[in-house]
Amino acid sequence: MKVRNLIFNMAPVLGLLVLVIGYFVVGTINGINVTYGLKAVVNQSVVVAVVATGAVFIYTMGSFDISLGASTAVSALVAGMVYLRTENLILTFITSICVAVLVALLNSVLAGVFNLPVFVTTIAMLSVLNALILLLININGTGSEVKVPSDAVKSLDTLGFKILILTLYFAICVFLFDYTPIGRRQKFLGGNPLCAKLTGISINKYSIIAFVICGLGVGLGAFLSIVYAPTLTRSTASSVGMDVIIAIVFGGMPVSGGAKSRIYAAVIGAFSMSFLSQIMVMFNLNSGVGQMVKAAIFLLVVFIAAGERKTRTLPR
């Protein structure tokens, strides 16, 4: 039984390992530039990994935030506009974080004030943020973009900087999630909200904490978006919201949250997706077929995870 549990718990990590080995094997056979490919994988994964790591706190509580992509875009746009006026990268970084945390706070406070499920307020917030994206771009006067000079961020567009940001944020999240009451109580709230409430745990308080931590990730993701692609348009980060959901589930996170939530799910999922995409391209699968293959693998992951959970009681 212990071996079986271990296999299930390690399945996402093993999956990533298989994909990494597959990438190197297929890549070497096909003669692709695997070293450059690793750089591409990091570039394609890092924003989703950072945002999704923060989002794990929300998912753990059995909640869901659909506005993360739009929030990333708004934070990046405001930060980009601040750069254009101040030419100060530190201020740009701080703005990016502050805007994202502010949006996250607004989400959670609104849910608390109106006593609504958090998911509902994030749907409303998604519309507001999408409108704000258009407004910000128009305010900027170019009609289509906010363009931070690429020279300004070129020195930060390195793998070292991106990995450093991801590692630091991930370390903070691991600490909060696994070694403080925050993570434990959020798991409790996700597993059984009523029971958690009866023991004196405040849903609102932990919801606000989860959103603030997630907001920090969104802010970092927004800054990394500026660093990677400093020409910001209405499409900036448009796929991040959906990619975060896919990455979290791909990484083995139960969609209902609770005790089996894992902080590392987001990073595992984000990198797994990118390696999978690279392998698809190597097999010359066009994007339509690639998406179907990904969907099939995704289903398999969810099916296995769901089957495993049904056979067992809560972890003791």
Partner 1 sequence: MKKRFVTKILSLLLAGTMMFSMTACGTGNGDAAGTGSSQAGDEAEEYAEADIEAPGEPFKIGVLVADATSAEALGRRHYLESYIAKAYNMEFVYSDELADSAGEKSAIDTMITNNCKAILSESAFDRPAQIEQCEEAGVYYAVGAGALESDQYENYKGYEYFVGSVGPSDNTEFETGYNMAKYYLDQGKKNFAIFGGATAYRNSMHVNRVAGMLTAMVEAGGEGASYQGMTDPGAIIGQLMADGEAKTGQIGDVTLSGYLGGYDMDDAWFAKGAEMVQANGVEVLLAVGSGSDFFGTAANGTDVKIASVDAYADDYYEAMKNGSLDYLAGKFSAYDGPVFMALYRAVNGNPLRTPDGDALALDIGYWVATSADECEEMLSVDADLTTPVWTAEELNKLYDADYATFEGFVNNYSFEMIK
* Binding footprint of partner 1 on the chain (CB under 8 A): 31-34, 36-37, 39-40, 43-45, 47, 142-145, 147, 150, 154, 225, 228-233, 235-239, 241-243, 245-246, 273-274, 277-278, 280-282, 284-292, 294-296, 298-299, 302-303
Nearer CB in complex with partner 1: 216/276 = 276
Q: Rounded distance, CA 266 to CA 253, Å? A: 8
Give 65 or 206: the residue with its C-beta nearer to partner 1.
65
User: Shortest distance, CB of residue 248 to partner 1, whole angstroms?
Assistant: 12
Q: Distances from the Cα of 174 to the Cαs of 131, 209, 222, 262, in angstroms?
A: 34, 15, 21, 9
Q: Of the two residues 294 and 309, which places its CB atom closer to partner 1 in the complex?
A: 294
Q: How far is the CB of 199 from partner 1 (least distance, A)?
A: 33
Report whether 192 contacts 259 (CB < 8 A).
no
Token digits of residue 113: 């004030």
Rounded to a whole number of angstroms, the minimum distance from the CB of residue 309 to partner 1 is 14
| CB of residue 280 to partner 1, shortest distance in Å | 7
* 199, two tokens: 């023991």
204, two tokens: 């609102």
Q: What secondary structure does DSSP assign to 76-130, as a single string?
A: HHHHHHHHHHH--HHHHHHHHHHHHHHHHHHHHHHHHHTT--HHHHHHHHHHHHH
Cβ closest to partner 1, residue 146 vs residue 214:
146
* CB of 20 or CB of 280, closer to partner 1: 280
Dihedral sign for Cα atoms in the order 206, 211, 217, 220: negative
Q: Write down the least CB distance from residue 114 to partner 1, Å.
A: 28
CA dihedral 125, 269, 302, 9 (to 10 degrees): -130
Spell 97-115 as b/e; 16+ CB within 10 A means b: bbbbbbbbebbbebbbeee
- Comparing CB distances to partner 1, the nearer of 116 and 242 is 242
* Closest distance to partner 1 from the beta carbon of 296 (Å): 8
Minimum Å gap between C-beta 243 and partner 1 is 5
If the CB atoms of residues 221 and 257 are measured against partner 1, the closer one turns out to be 221
- The H or E element containing residue 232 is strand 231-232
